[in-house]
Structure 1
Amino acid sequence: MSRSLNILLIEDDTIEVMKFNRVLKTLGLNHKIIEANNGEDALHILKVKEIIPDIIVLDLNMPKLNGLEFLAILKNDEILKYIPSIILTTSGNHKDVLECYKIGIAGYILKPLKYDDYVDRIKRLLDYWSCNELISQ
């Protein structure tokens, strides 16, 4: 059975954040989105522990603390390391993909150029995680 998710979206591009939120609205999904502009902001949100996300969706290329640096810190935290982290990026660099899986991500999705393809990928991502048995903190 599908359930509503708390999603930490870490993305520095305002247009990409708006696009992600638009997809949820278009699909009629009632997931709660917690937004962070970079890895530093995301770590602050996670340390406060007001809301522990069910999943983290993040870009790789961000200022202050990039996606790989954020993941390295996250995966060293005894509680937060279990939150599934999914990369949503334009980087198809094979080295980036390997490094992310080495750190322990749950998925790597390339942002497609066509909006309809983007909608399809986000829908599949959220359908999967909303029916997956997630670890409760």
Structure 2
Amino acid sequence: MLPFNYLVVDDSPQDQLLAQEAFEHLCPECVLTCAGSGREALALLQDRDFQVDVVLLDLNMPGMSGFELLREMKRDPRLIRIPVVILSTSSAQQDISEAYTLHASSYLVKSSSFAEFLSQIEKFLDYWQSSRTVNHVG
């Protein structure tokens, strides 16, 4: 079976590192790519050679926000079917509602402790790998 390809979009180098550590611990066979901005992620996603199964997206980023990236992805016929999971520190009902209005697949509020964050990522991985819906861009 092909390894799963994940894209983490987060402007925080510390949060990117936490995600990398979690994935290395829980799914060493997974391919994890990190993008530090919405624009960087959009450029990657629009590259026909870039393959991704699921995007983990932070909302609050300078330049192109997570909402703006999600909106752009859902407008693009090549990107519309890629599942996008919001991973944000925001638990504001307005943010959650807007994410689902823009067709996010799910919304996770980042845990403040690494052990709980690891548990969140483990559940996330279990769900997406058990569903194994291949949504390669191409």
Bin of the TM-score, shorter chain as denominator length: over 0.9
Cα deviation per residue 1:6-37 (whole Å; 9 max; x = unaligned)?
11110110010110111112224321011111
User: In structure 1, what is the Cα distance between the partners aligned to 2:135 and 2:60?
Assistant: 29
What's 1:9 paired with? 8
Structure 1 segments of 4 or more deviating over 3 A? Answer: none
What is the 5 A alignment of 1:98-109? 98-109=97-108
SS at structure 2 position matched to 1:81: coil
Task: Tell me which residue corresponds to 1:134.
Answer: 133
Rounded to whole Å, the distance in 1 between the matches of 2:135 and 2:58 is 24
| 1:104 counterpart SS class | coil
What runs of 5+ residues in structure 1 fail to find an aligned partner?
none
Q: What runs of 5+ residues in structure 2 fail to find an aligned partner?
A: none
Aligned to 1:93: 92
- Separation in 2, partners of 1:4, 1:54: 10
CA distance in 2, matches of 1:94, 1:11: 21
How many residues in Structure 1 have an aligned counterpart in Structure 2? 136
* Corresponding residue of 1:80: 79
* Sequence identity percentage: 28
CA distance in 2, matches of 1:55, 1:28: 14
